[in-house]
Amino acid sequence: MERCLIGVGANIDPEENIAEGLLLLARRVRILAVSPFYVTAPIGRPEQPDYLNGVVVVEHGGGPAALRDDILRPVEAARGRARTADAYAARTLDLDVLLYGDRTGHEAGMTLPDPHLWERPFLAAAALAVFPGLVVPGTGRPLRELADPAAVAACRGADAFTERLREMFER
């Protein structure tokens, strides 16, 4: 079993879809930790509602493609996610493999680690909350050095929602 970092986000009924999606996910994999969630503006779509974004740490042993295709995509679909060519479309639930153990490189259409981990401050903030000393596989550098510290510090927490999720999953 390998520890994996999964990005979690939604901007269509986000509190309901994230909570219910994580309950579905927990039936398939063990959720080890839930990060703080952050309120974020939609990228390139100011007309859309804000997102809630965070990460969860899970254990999985079948490889990144199996995690994505056999577990994450069906959970998204169960919450009404319809993938389109529009990468910035509003969504009920978005689950992405950010880290899969110490794996690096390109595999089944994914880049591991996912560069969004340090390019998107809300993902870096969430990951640092669950892995404060994370050294990003393949870089030899701490995530704290790769991410913009001012942007990470400026992330606006969804504290009540985070607390609710943690009560659900961290027993």
Catalytic site includes residue 69: no
What is the identity of the amino acid at 71? Answer: I
Is 96 one of the annotated active-site residues of the chain? Answer: yes
State both tokens at 124.
């870096």
Residue 13: active-site member:
no
Please say if 81 is a catalytic residue: yes
Pairing type for strands 51-60 and 30-34 reads antiparallel
Q: Which of 68, 79, 91, 120 is catalytic?
A: 91
- DSSP letters, the chain, are -EEEEEEEEESSSHHHHHHHHHHHHHTTSEEEEE---EEEPPTT-TTSPPEEEEEEEEEE-S-HHHIIIIIIHHHHHHTT----S-TT---S-EEEEEEETT--EEETTEEES-THHHHSHHHHHHHHHH-TTPEETTTTEEHHHHS-HHHHHT-EE-HHHHHHHHHHH--
Beta bridge partners of 53: 9, 38
Catalytic residue among 13, 28, 45, 81: 81
Catalytic hit among 68, 96, 114, 120: 96
> Of 45, 79, 86, 94, which is the active-site residue?
94
Residues tagged active-site: 81, 91, 94, 96
